[in-house]
Amino acid sequence: MNQTVFRAVGLTLALLISGLILAKEPLIFADDQQEARYNDLTVELRCLVCQNQNLADSDAPLAQDLRKEIYDMLQQGRTDDEIKTFLIDRYGDFVLYRPPMQGNTLALWLMPAVLLLLGGVVLVIIVRKRSRLLAEQEKEKS
Amino acid sequence: MISRLLPVILFVLLGVLLAAGLKIADHKTEIPSPLIGKSVPEFSLPLLGQDDVLITQNDLLGKPYLLNVWASWCVTCRVEHPYIDELARSGKVRVIGLNYRDETTDALGWLQRFGNPYELNIADLSGRTAIDFGVYAAPESFLVDAKGTIVFKQIGAVTPEVIENEILPRLQEMGK
């Protein structure tokens, strides 16, 4: 009995680990820096098929193709910007998870700052009102 | 009074904003192509089933054409197939197939079974040329003018509405 459980656990673990090993395409990089750039790029670029996943996470055939393109371009010594431009030229700004700051995205970029400012103004108004009320109550007491 | 109404007003404004967002999100899966108005990307690919005949983008110049990206594994391609067939038969535009990430025997079998509306079929078995076209799903269709400029891209099935409202008017525009 004990041995059966032992074997089952061992087999489960072995299967889990084999899955992890097979999950990544075996890629050989020139150095650690290149591998880091590959990982950064595939995390930052969107998979076009399953649009809420990045290229690193997606198993869609197109994501595999695009990862291979990125890998090949890295081997050719292209810069990160060149690789991003390659994808933007084909798929548009949508491939970038971080949209560029330009005319049609200005609202998107400025909105957080505007909201923060608005919140600050409301806060100041409320605090002033309260302190005025408090001051009046103090006066009434005395 | 106003301070009582303010939350209600803010709530309504937020509702309007979210409703507008939902409306936009309806079309969100269609990514506008940056290739509209640009030349067809360079390629050199064999004809489907004839590996020794290479076709380049220059071979297609001279008359407008609809480049239809399809595959035998693509379900929606079967939905649009009768409309593509009808468009090709009407003689209003040449229809060129780009067989995308497919197996040659599967693709040829598909054509035999459902009919072949294509003037010629280019085989992009690796999908590399499709990346240059910005293809991210099948079916996709590109309307290209006689000089090789992409004027319109349909993502998803070509329906009678798309032919009527998008493709035919642009062809007429080119004819002038």
Residues A106 and A85 in one domain: no
- Band (pLDDT 50/70/90 cuts) for residue A1 is low
Q: Which of A48, A69, A88 sits opposite B136 (nearest CB)?
A: A48
Strands across the sheet containing B44-47:
B50-56, B44-47, B120-124, B94-100, B65-70, B140-144, B150-155
Judged by CB atoms closer than 8 Å, whether chains meet at A51 and B29 is answered as yes
Same domain, A73 and A128: no
Same domain, A42 and A95: yes
Residue of B nearest to A64 (CA): B127
DSSP code of A54?
B
Q: What ipTM describes this predicted complex?
A: 0.79
* Domain around A108: 102-142
Q: Which of B113, B140, B112 is nearest to B124 (CA)?
A: B140
Q: Say whether B133 and A90 touch across the interface (CB within 8 A).
A: yes
Cis, bond preceding B7 (omega within 30 deg of 0): no
Asked if the structure places residue A14 within a domain, the reply is: no
Q: How many structural domains is chain A composed of?
A: 2
A10: in domain: no
pLDDT tens, position by position, A89-139: 999 888 888 877 787 788 888 999 999 999 999 999 999 999 999 998 888
Looking at the structure, tell me whether residues A80 and A112 fall in a common domain. no
Q: Which residue has the tokens 């220059």?
A: B58
Residue A120 lies in a domain: yes
For A88, which of B34, B101, B137 is closest by C-beta distance?
Answer: B34
Q: Evaluate whether residue A57 is within a structural domain.
A: yes
pLDDT for B4-18, tens place per residue? 888 899 999 999 999
Domain-located, residue A135: yes
Inter-chain contact B134–A92, Cβ cutoff 8 Å?
Answer: yes
A32 and A72 together in one domain: yes
* Cβ <8 Å between A90 and B137: no
Which residue numbers of B have CB closer than 8 Å to A's CBs? 28-29, 31-35, 101, 126-128, 131-134, 136-137
Q: What is the pLDDT of residues B92-117, one digit of tens each?
A: 999 999 999 999 999 999 999 999 99
- CA–CA gap between residue B25 and residue B140 (Å, rounded): 20
Residue B137 has pLDDT above 90, yes or no: no
**CATH superfamily, domain at B31-175:** Glutaredoxin (3.40.30.10)
Do residues A45 and A84 make contact, with C-beta atoms less than 8 angstroms apart? yes
Instruction: Compute the mean pLDDT over every residue in chain B, rounded to the nearest whole number.
Output: 92
Nearest CA in chain A to B133: A90
The residue extents of the domains of chain B are 1-30, 31-175
Question: What CA–CA distance (Å, rounded) separates B165 from B163?
Answer: 6
Range B69-83 average pLDDT:
96
- Are residues A46 and A84 located together in one domain of the fold? yes
Do A92 and A109 fall within a single domain?
no
User: Do A72 and A34 share a domain, yes or no?
Assistant: yes
Whichever domain contains A60, its CATH number is 1.10.8.640
- The angle, 0 to 180 degrees and rounded to 10, between the axes of the packed helices A80-91 and A32-44 is 30
> Length of chain B in residues, anyone?
176
Residues A94 and A108 in one domain: no
- Does residue A107 share a domain with residue A94? no
Distance from CA of A96 to the nearest CA of B (A): 12
Residue A47: predicted pLDDT: 86
